Amino acid sequence: MSEYILNLLPLHEGEREEFESIAPGAVHVYAGRSTVTPEQLAAATIIFGWPRPEAMGAAVNLKWFQTMWAGADDYAGKLPEGVLFTSSSGSNSRSVAEHMLTCLLSLCRCLPAYRDSQRARRWKDEGPMKTILGAWVLVVGAGHIGSEFGRLCQALGAHTTGLKRRVSGPVEGFDRVGTMDELDALLPRADVVALVVPHSPETAGLIGADRIALMKDDAILLSAGRGSVLDQAALAEAMGTGKLWGAALDVTTPEPLPAGSPLWELPNLLLTPHVAGGMRLEITRRRCVEMAQENLRRYLAGEELENIIE
């Protein structure tokens, strides 16, 4: 029986033909997240894209599903038993890393304060600034995004250390890689702490009041993984007393951030509404397509797929 490939990826001209040349014997069906039908889901043996999690119960013939995002939380418990599940982890690494670097440099140069002054039509010198030349950057989560961010920081003269659960060798972008149990020992040394770990029972509440207290008074905190990693109330309380040079959060809990959150009022905190990644850059979209194509080649050849989610 030929494969029925339901493709929900945001494809551009010529990319349908690319998929069809990889699997010429398959049935290729193209749809959008809002236009896919229960009949298409029921017929699909392979799905690429971002179908609504609550609709996945209809995919009774599904053998393999590759989501267009790195995260898999939305589909936990929603896929039929025995389905091979892969992600597009790494597709938006450059996008998120550039966003983090932009926030970091903005904080170093006091740009949030100068923007406030501009809106108030106030000509004011905000005084000392910071540089990441020679700074110690601690990246909590030495995966695809962390590695890309580390490379960008190294290029600007920073020293980089990455932390991950298990260390099997060097990771590009880091002068040194350690395990997560070194976190408390390294926080007091770091000039910049970047959080890019996914949500899990181990990472929920990872950075709370005690660990914020371990950080330098003039350190910069960046969070672009999952909002659950950071205790936002503890951060607001600490920054309200002058702790930290600044912080930038692209993720919060919950999302959207409630209007009553004290984070809105902190002058040296940058908030962005979970926009660091996604399909906002063409290189992200194209990389996502290429990852699906590479895994399709592997699948048809009987080879192990990349980015398997257990």
Active site residues: 226, 255, 274
d(CA 105, CA 97): 12
Bridge partners of residue 230, in order along the sequence: 207
Cα Rg of the chain, angstroms: 22
